[in-house]
């Protein structure tokens, strides 16, 4: 039987998992759009291009439970920054390619615009996490 504190932790974990899954779904949709626009085939898979510099997103509940709030937020903040930087590089590359090709798109959202929307979401989330980290740090400082 889970105690009240464990139930709250479980709910936080489930919420984080749900948000991560939602973000992953949006990224997968963007990936399909990218493959279709850039490669002409949404099912193309280039296994030689691995994104080794990106953080892993898998943490089971019991490992997550052992982390302090500070550790969770701090790790999330740095992981989100890594993703944001990768998206920024890719968006700039695509914008440059579009300018070079002089692609006119009267209707629809371009891939760089879709990436920018995800970056806005990540920026807002990083800001929120940063604020929470600051709050926890401030509380720790007042108790010393």
| pLDDT digit string, tens, across residues 15-52 | 777 777 777 777 777 777 777 777 666 555 554 454 55
Tally the C-alpha atoms within 13 A of residue 111's C-alpha that lie toward its C-beta: 25
Residue 30 inside a domain? The answer is: yes
Residue 28 inside a domain? The answer is: yes
Q: How many domains does the chain have?
A: 1
Q: What span, in angstroms and rounded, lies between the C-alpha atoms of 59 and 80?
A: 15
Average pLDDT of 124-129? 80
For residue 93, the model assigns a pLDDT of: 86
Residue 51 inside a domain? The answer is: no
For residue 47, the model assigns a pLDDT of: 47
Residue 94 inside a domain? The answer is: yes
Using alpha carbons only, what angle is made at residue 143 by residues 141 and 144, rounded to the nearest 5 degrees? 70
What is the domain range of residue 85? 4-39+57-142
pLDDT of 89 > 70? The answer is yes
**Share of residues in the chain with pLDDT > 90 (%):** 0
Nearest to 112, CA basis, from 132, 92, 131, 126: 92
Average pLDDT score over the chain: 74
Residue 48 inside a domain? The answer is: no
Contact 119, 88 (CB under 8 A): yes
Q: What span, in angstroms and rounded, lies between the C-alpha atoms of 24 and 15?
A: 14
Residue 138 inside a domain? The answer is: yes
Q: Confidence class of residue 71 from pLDDT cuts 50, 70 and 90?
A: confident
Residue 45 inside a domain? The answer is: no
Nearest to 44, CA basis, from 35, 52, 53: 35
Residue 49 inside a domain? The answer is: no
Q: Which residues contact 90 (CB under 8 A, 6 or more apart)?
A: 115
pLDDT of 108 > 70? The answer is no
């Amino acid at each position: 039987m889970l105690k009240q504190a464990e139930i709250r932790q479980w709910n936080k974990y489930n919420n984080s998992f749900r948000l991560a899954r939602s973000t992953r779904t949006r990224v997968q949709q963007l990936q399909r759009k990218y493959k279709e626009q850039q490669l002409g085939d949404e099912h193309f898979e280039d296994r030689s291009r691995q994104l080794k510099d990106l953080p892993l997103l898998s943490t089971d509940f019991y490992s997550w439970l052992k982390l302090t709030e500070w550790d969770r937020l701090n790790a999330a903040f740095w992981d989100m920054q890594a993703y944001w930087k990768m998206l920024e590089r890719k968006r700039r590359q695509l914008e440059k390619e579009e300018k070079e090709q002089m692609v006119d798109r009267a209707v629809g959202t371009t891939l760089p615009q879709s990436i920018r929307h995800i970056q806005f979401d990540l920026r807002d989330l990083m800001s929120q996490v940063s604020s929470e980290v600051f709050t926890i740090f401030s509380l720790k400082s007042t108790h010393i």
